[in-house]
Amino acid sequence: MTRVILDCDPGHDDAIALLFALGSPAELKLLGVTTVSGNQTLEKTTANAIRVLDHLGCDDIPVVAGAGRPLVREQHVAAEVHGDTGLDGPELPPPARQADREHAIDWIASRGPVTLVATGPLTNVAVLLARHPDVEIERIVLMGGAIGEGNVTPAAEFNIWVDPEAAARVFESGIDLTMVGLDVTHKALMTPAHADRLASAGRAGKLVADLYAFYSRFHRERYGWDGAPIHDACAVAHLIDPTLIETVHCGVKVDTGGELSRGRTNADRFGRCAWVPNCHVAVDIDSERFLSLLIERIGALG
């Protein structure tokens, strides 16, 4: 069993990733959830993490707030994708509790050996490594980046683009790192048929179906897809069943330059630049098995 902390910015796909982790106790021991500004402000992402846990009665899982803005850039949120609350669609009540008072950075550092699943901008992780250089991080599996085209600019994926300086620090850290980017998440679309199956599968499944109903609209309008990528759940899936995702070990450098290239994850997949490999980069996914497992595990939460 892998001891994990989910560092996230809920966000529809973060919420689904959280449910996926909760539904996989044989493989993952979820120690807690830390939050960061990204899909919405820190106040809203923190509230959303608690609201999702409240929905399943999981008030024993700590939620700890972290960074409220990128290291050096202006704050940017994705309200056009996730709505004003960051979790528009379902009718979830306000959070029934407050986040823990400790800062996420110090809370993570006190957990002992742990795997971080980072599904938002990497601000918390970068500050953690700077403030606690001896922190016991066994590995980091992140959702972010792309070898090919981005989703916020042609060059960059959202999580890396929001705080490229933080991402650069993490990729240069020497920690065992896996990048699950758009190259695979865009191959694994949840469809209306998947959502219909979940809608009748208890409270957790109904929540995912309601999330999907709102979240899929953006992807239908932007890309013309009859479905939506559940990006962040792919990172969780890699820990639950590593055979679901194929990776290559290569050098990756994050571009922190001007707007045209900001946030691009330059992956030397074929060794053309002879960069020292620093990341396991996801290049393919068994989408059918992934989605089947996702539906099975969330459906079993009841």
Could you list the active site residues?
Answer: 231
* CB neighbour list of residue 23: distance below 8 Å, 6 or more residues apart: 204, 297, 298, 300, 301
- Cα dihedral 117, 122, 127, 132 in deg (nearest 10): 20
- Cα dihedral 123, 125, 128, 129 in deg (nearest 10): -110
Q: How far apart are CA 284 and CA 270, in angstroms?
A: 16
Tokens standing for residue 50: 């608690």
Q: What are phi and psi of 61, to 5 degrees?
A: -95, 120
First to last CA, the chain: 22
Name the DSSP letter for residue 180: E
Name the DSSP letter for residue 100: B
Q: What b/e string do you get for 171-205 counting C-beta neighbours within 10 Å, with b at 16 or more? A: bebebebbbbbbbbbbebbbeeebbebbbebeebb
Tokens standing for residue 204: 């957790």
CB distance 201 to 298 below 8 Å = yes
